[in-house]
Chains A and B, each alone.
Chain A
Amino acid sequence: MREKLLYALGIIAALLIARNLFHIFLRFPDEASQGAIFRIIFFHVPAAMAAFVGALVALGASIGWLTTRRMRFDSLAVAVTEVSLAFLAANLITGSIWGRIIWGIWWTWDARLTSALVCWLLYAGYLMLRRAIEEPTQRATIAAVYSIFAFVDVPIVIFSIKWWRTQHPQPVFWGGGSFPAEWYVTALLNLLAMVLLGVVLTAVRLRQEETQREIDAMRRYAHAM
């Protein structure tokens, strides 16, 4: 059942992405001032949003582990953090490519870029911290506490730099955005596709993590014998 559901979600995500790619590359005209490169925004922004949804789930899972002590929450936390990190990396890379074309530089120490990079480093630290701990319960607790600290830091990083003028463009999807309705629909559908893809990847990773846990338990049991 779970298997079939995952396949179904994956197929829906693939169909959505195919539909969006068709619209983005074959139907939409070039943007007046940016030319062809503007199309990257349909991936750049949804990837960031999917990553933040993932960070929220990771926070929930970490708190879930600390309150219920059910290992499944810990597996979910690591699975969703890994997937979100991949989405955030996609966001950073697409942004960098866009910057190379429009600004002429790959990177600038602009507030928005810096904060995204800091987020990425915070959650990469989470994965590295996990690798350094052997004992599963201890690993789960320490990683959960770190995850909470990291999540609290994210809004501080983002808001602390609101006082600077950013080189990064202002949001185009809300707050005086200038997108045609058709583009909105495609961007939203792409966000849906990314979230679905994220769910499928997280579920696959979650199963891997649980299997790994079972194998570790058996190995310990064999040692004890």
Chain B
Amino acid sequence: MPAIETRPRRRTRPAARSLWTALPRQVAVIAWKDLRAEMRTKEAVNASFAFALVILLLFSFAFDPAEEQTRLISGGLLWIVFAFAGTLVLNRSFARELPNDCLDALVAAPVSGAAIFLGKALANFVLLTAVELVSLPVFGIFYNVRWTEQFWPLLLVVALATWGVTVIGTVFSALTVNIRLREVMLPLLVYPVLIPALMAAMQLTTALVAGEPLAGDLLAWLRLLVGFDVIFTALALLLMETVLVA
């Protein structure tokens, strides 16, 4: 047997990395895994974007798509589109793990429920934001609305509200993954819980698309949005382990 030069193994490898170095890595691995799986098939993103287009089209029959009127309801319209299209992505988040019992493997893996939640939520956030950022210009073109006047504040609102949708959607996607009528139950449960976040997002988006600066009353809505994100992210981190082993 030829002698193989082996490098001396480092013996000082810590048995258990501390939470704060391990967690970000685990989160990144899970998020990257989800994004890669999605990028190979693109099934959820394609369906979600196509659905967003269909709803945008349908709205043109619901009201007179003249610029003035569209501006007045732009927030409501956009967030209904985003919320509906979002559930298509969120539905897949845990359902994707069902074939080949991937979910069991994921739960059995030595990572905490919080890491699984954050990883999945991060991947969903990226996918949802991508769908939204493509839908926004399409909305601007179809409805003749110049929506870029307050671009950066609008981006902030979109990011905050999307995170809220993602947090609730990811937890409830895990809650409903093993139950009957999964596709029906998820939207039924998600939308009522999302109401405060969607309400704030609608108010803010309408104002920002109309070109108002982010100040005054709008800051109260922004606070509501931030508060919603913080409370439900904390709750999700706390309860995800329980949900996954149920």
| Chain A residues near B (Cβ < 8 Å) | 66, 118, 121-122, 125, 128-129, 132-134, 137-138, 141-142, 145-146, 148-150, 152-153, 156-157, 160, 163
Contact = CB atoms under 8 A, between A and B. Distances in A.
A143 to B, nearest CB: 9
19 contacts: A118-B192, A121-B192, A129-B175, A133-B179, A138-B246, A141-B243, A142-B175, A142-B243, A145-B175, A145-B246, A146-B175, A146-B189, A149-B168, A152-B235, A153-B192, A153-B196, A157-B196, A160-B200, A163-B220
B118 to A, nearest CB: 17
Interface stretch (B8-16, B57-65, B138-146, B225-233): B225-233
Q: Is the interface of B mostly helix, strand, loop or mixed?
A: helix
Nearest to B245: A141
A163 B180 CA distance: 40
Nearest to A119: B192
Given A141-B243, A156-B228, A163-B220, A150 B181 contact: no
B167 to A, nearest CB: 10
Given A146-B172, A160-B196, 18 more contacts: A118-B192, A121-B192, A125-B188, A128-B185, A129-B176, A129-B179, A137-B246, A138-B246, A145-B171, A145-B239, A145-B243, A146-B189, A148-B235, A149-B193, A149-B232, A153-B195, A156-B224, A160-B199
Nearest to B182: A132
Contacts of A134: 180
B171 A149 contact: yes
Contact of A125 (B178, B189, B232, B239): B189
A146 B242 CA distance: 12
Report, nearest first, the 5 A-B pairs whose CB atoms are least far apart. Answer: A141-B246, A132-B179, A121-B192, A156-B196, A132-B180
A132 B185 contact: yes
A125 B192 contact: yes
